[in-house]
Amino acid sequence: MISRLKAFALVGVVLTISACATAQMHTEDQLNAVAQSCGLSFGEVMQDASEKRLLFLVRSEPSAEQRACVYRWARRGHMHLVLVNIANGPAS
């Protein structure tokens, strides 16, 4: 019974530690590599040093596949994806 309790405690500690994983600041080259691998252009995937947990996808109407690709990479890096949809042309 005690060994089972220790096992549950260990699992709880491991889950707590993994939930506290922090995002790291990625280089421009790393972000551009992600953009290219997801079918985007250089500079369309960005990260701000003041909030490393946010990953920005800046593009006019990215496809569902592009969004999903960047989302998966963001989740692996413990980041939240922020979609910034750029409007094309002047507003009417």
Residue 20 has pLDDT above 90, yes or no: no
Q: Is the pLDDT of residue 7 over 80?
A: no
- The pLDDT of 50-72, averaged and rounded, is 95
Q: Tell me the average pLDDT across 63-79.
A: 96
Boundaries of every domain in the chain: 23-92
Q: What is the mean pLDDT of the chain?
A: 83
Report strand pairing: 51-59 vs 45-48.
antiparallel
User: Residue 13 region, left (φ>0) first, then alpha (ψ -120 to 50), else beta?
Assistant: alpha
The closest alpha carbon to 38, from 2, 10, 5, 63, belongs to 63
What's the whole-model pTM score?
0.71
Q: 65 or 19, which is more confident?
A: 65
